Structure 1
Amino acid sequence: MALLEGRTAVITGAAQGLGLAIAEAFVAEGANVVLGDLNEEAVVEAATGLGVGDRAIGMACNVVELEQVDALAQKAVEVFGSLDIMVNNAGITRDATMRKMTEEQFDQVIAVHLRGTWNGLKSASGIMREQEQGGSIINVSSISGKVGMLGQTNYSAAKAGIVGMTKAAAKEVGFKNVRVNAVQPGFIKTAMTAAMRQDVIDSKLAEIPMGRAGEASEVASVVVFLASDMSSYMSGTVQEIAGGRHI
C-alpha cells in the first residue's frame, strides 16, 4: 500500500515550486490533495496537471486571511471526508538591507509566513483534533531561519518564528494525536534560484558539503515521511534539508 493511501492533504503555495513538488509526491503515494495559492488560474492548472482527475482540487487562497484558509481546509473535508495532512508552505520574499527595507516589505513577509502558518495551524488542528486518526501538520521554514541571511531580516525572522510556532503548537495538540513538524530547506533548485547570478550560486554551493543544490523532490520526500505513519512518534521536530550546509 502507498504511504498516504486514502488520506487527504491541503498544501498552500502549491501552484509552483516546492508546494507543487510536494503535491506531486503526495498523489504518487495515494493521497487526495487540495492545493491553495494566491494565483487561482495557476493553482487550478497545477491541480489538473497532476493527472489524477478528481483526486486533486485547486483553489484560490490568501493565507493571510483566516476565512480563506478555513475554506481551503473545509473543502478537503467536504469533498474527501477528512483532513489528514496540512502543509503550510506559502511564502514570499521582499529582500533588502535594513537601511533600504520598507515597513511594508517587512510586514508583508511576516504576515504571509507567520500569520499564514498560524492560520493553517489553527484551521487544520481544529479539524484534526476532532478526528479519531488525528493528523499531521508540516510547516515549511528555511535554513535562513537558522542562520540569518544578509538582506533578509524580515524573511529570516519569519522563518525562525515558524520553528518556535511549530514547537508550541506540537505541545498544544499532541494529546489529540495531531503531530506538528517543520522542515528547513537550504539551497534548492527552483525558478527563483535559477535566476541568481552565477557568482552568487557558486558562493552558496561552496558552503554545502555535498557540493550541489537540492532538488524540490528531495524536500518533498521528507515532507511525505513527516506526513506518513513512518514518523508516527515525531512531533515538534525541525528537519534540515540542506546538504550539510550551516551544520
Structure 2
Amino acid sequence: MKVAIVTGGTRGIGKSITEELYNEGYQVIAVYNSNDAKALELTQQLPGLDVCKCDISDSKAVQRMVSKIYRTYGRIDCLVNNAGIIRDGYFLMMSEEKWMDVVNINLMGLVNMSKAVLKIMKAKHIHGKIINISSTSGVAGQVGQANYSATKGAIVAVTKTLAKEFAQDQININCVSPGFIETDMTSELRNKEEIKEHVIPLKRFGRPEEVGWLVAFLASDKANYITGKNIVIDGGMIND
C-alpha cells in the first residue's frame, strides 16, 4: 500500500485531498495543527486514517514526525503540501508579524516538509510524488494579500526548481493553484454572487473534491511524465 502525507489534511481542500487519496487506496496521514475535533471526526469517517498533530513551521518537529511515519509504514510515496493560512491586510498597514506568520506556515512549512520527505525518497530510491498547493493569488496577485500572494508565488517557483533538482531521482514535483473553491474561507465572502457572475467564466466556485481529483491524478502513475508544472484550477478565471 502506498503512503501519502497531506498537510492541513483535516479540513477544507486538504480534507477532500485526504478523502480522495484514501478512496484511491493510499494509507493517508493527515497532518493538522490545532483542531483536534476535526481530526477526530475525520478518523471516525475514514477507518484506518492516521492523523498527526504538528506545527510544520518547526523544522525539528517536522523531522521527528516524518521519521516516525517512515518507521511506522516503511515508505513515503506522496507528500501533499496543502497547509496554509491567511493574514490579510493592505500592504502599508500590514505588520511584520502578519508577514512572518504567513511566510512561516505557507512557505517554510512546505520547505520543512519537503526536505524531510525528499531525504527519505532519495535515500530509499522511492519514485515518489510531491504536490504543492499554491493559489491563483500566487499567479495573478490579489489586493490585500501581498503576504499570501508572495508565499504562493514562491511555492510555484520552488516547485519548478525542485522538479529539476530531483528529476534524476524519478521524483515528480508539481503544483496545483486553485481559484475560488467552496470552503469555510470563501463562505464568508460578501460578494460571492458577483464574483461568480462577472469574474469566473464557468459562473460557479469549484468544489473541494475537484481539487482532490486533480491531486490524486498527479499522485498516480498516470502522471509519471508530468513534473515541474503549475496547474491552475479556477473555472477559467485567469490567464496563466
Shorter-chain TM band: over 0.9
How far the C-alpha of 1:40 sits from its partner, in A, is 5.6
Instruction: For residues 95-119 of structure 1, give each alpha carbon's deviation from its aligned partner in whole angstroms, at most 9, with x where no partner exists.
Output: 0001221110011111111111111
Q: Return 5+ residue gaps in structure 1 as ranges.
A: 1-5
CA distance in 1, matches of 2:207, 2:166: 32
Report the counterpart of residue 183 of structure 2 in structure 1.
190
| Partner of residue 92 from structure 1, selected from 81, 85, 91 | 85
Instruction: For residues 67-86 of structure 1, give each alpha carbon's deviation from its aligned partner in whole angstroms, at most 9, with x where no partner exists.
Output: 22223322332222110000
In structure 1, what residue type is equivalent to 2:5? V
In structure 2, what residue type is equivalent to 1:227? A
CA distance in 1, matches of 2:237, 2:35: 35
| Partner of residue 156 from structure 2, selected from 154, 163, 172 | 163
In structure 2, what residue type is equivalent to 1:158? T
Report the counterpart of residue 244 of structure 1 in structure 2.
236
CA distance in 1, matches of 2:45, 2:183: 18
Matches within 5 A, 1:1-247: 6-39=1-34, 41-42=36-37, 44-53=39-48, 56-197=49-190, 200-205=191-196, 206-247=198-239
Cα RMSD after superposing both structures: 1.3
Report the counterpart of residue 3 of structure 1 in structure 2.
none
In structure 2, what residue type is equivalent to 1:166? T
Instruction: For residues 167-217 of structure 1, give each alpha carbon's deviation from its aligned partner in whole angstroms, at most 9, with x where no partner exists.
Output: 1111111111111100000000001111221xx212321211111000000
Q: 1:20 to 1:46 in 2, by over 3 A?
A: farther
Secondary structure in structure 2 of the residue aligned to 1:86? strand
Q: 1:231 to 1:29 in 2, by over 3 A?
A: same
Instruction: For residues 24-81 of structure 1, give each alpha carbon's deviation from its aligned partner in whole angstroms, at most 9, with x where no partner exists.
Output: 001100000111111162454144134223xx11111111111222233223322221
Deviates more, 1:65-74 or 1:40-49: 40-49
Secondary structure in structure 1 of the residue aligned to 2:123? coil
CA contact (8 A) 2:32 2:39 kept: no
CA distance in 2, matches of 1:42, 1:134: 34
CA distance in 1, matches of 2:203, 2:16: 22
Segments of 4+ in structure 1 off by > 6 A? none
**Structure 1-normalised TM-score?**
0.92
CA contact (8 A) 1:90 1:112 kept: yes
Instruction: For residues 109-166 of structure 1, give each alpha carbon's deviation from its aligned partner in whole angstroms, at most 9, with x where no partner exists.
Output: 1111111111111011111112333200010100000110000000001100000000
Q: Return 5+ residue gaps in structure 2 as ranges.
A: none
CA distance in 2, matches of 1:38, 1:99: 30
Secondary structure in structure 2 of the residue aligned to 1:59? strand
